[in-house]
Amino acid sequence: MQKVLQEMSSDTSYSDLSFANHNLSSKKLTRITLDNCNLSSVTFQNCEISESQFSNLHFSHCKFFHSAFRNSHFAVAKFEDVNVDSSDFRDSVFAELSTLNLSFKDSDLKGATFYDCDLGGAIFDQAICDRVKFVRCQLDKASFISSKLFSVQFEDCVLTSANFQDSDLFLAKFQLCRISGIKLTDRQLEDVSISNCY
């Protein structure tokens, strides 16, 4: 595995490998593919991995501090006790994720899309979520405290008891969502569109 790590390069696919407990910090890669790999306790600090594909992966106890995964695609992956604080996921796509104790605090998610993800209890505090689209996602008890949510879209999502305290929801849209117990103020709703929610 040490040789694989040393020779990792752009435009390369990796499958059925274990990267567990390895350090991928400061890697700069483009258009890589990781499929069905073990990524338990991997450190991605200060990485720049863009336009890449990640599928059928289990991210467990990983650290993504100050990393960039712009315009990448994460599909059928599990994030468990993962901290991606202060990282860059602009224009990335997340599909069919299951999560436990996931934090995107202070991260840049501008233009990202989440489809069919279980993000219950996830932390998006102080994150930049402008133009982010959440479709058919579980976001119960998720926290968006002091986050920027300009033109964010929530479609057919469960947002029960989600916390939007002090967040900027200018031109946000909520459609076909469960929003009981949601935490926000009347002032925050001034420029928000809510339709067919309950």
Classify residue 60 by burial, with Cβ atoms within 10 Å: 0-12, 13-18, 19+.
middle
- CATH number of the domain to which 146 belongs: 2.160.20.80
31: in domain? no
pLDDT of res. 130:
96
pLDDT of res. 2:
67
Range of the domain at 119: 104-198
197: in domain? yes
pLDDT of res. 61:
93
Tokens read off for 29? 């890669």
76: in domain? no
3-state secondary structure the chain: CHHHHHHCCCCCEEECCECCCCECCCCEEECCEEECCECCCCECCCCEEECCEEECCEEECCECCCCECCCCEEECCEEEEEECCCCECCCCEEECCEEEEEECCCCECCCCEEECCECCCCECCCCECCCCEEECCECCCCECCCCECCCCEEECCECCCCECCCCECCCCEEECCECCCCECCCHHHCCCEEECCC
70: in domain? no
139: in domain? yes
pLDDT of res. 9:
87
Cα maximum dimension of the chain? 57
4: in domain? no
Q: How many CB atoms lie within 10 A of CB 160?
A: 17
The list of the chain residues with pLDDT below 50 reads none
**What total number of domains does the chain contain?**
1
195: in domain? yes
1: in domain? no
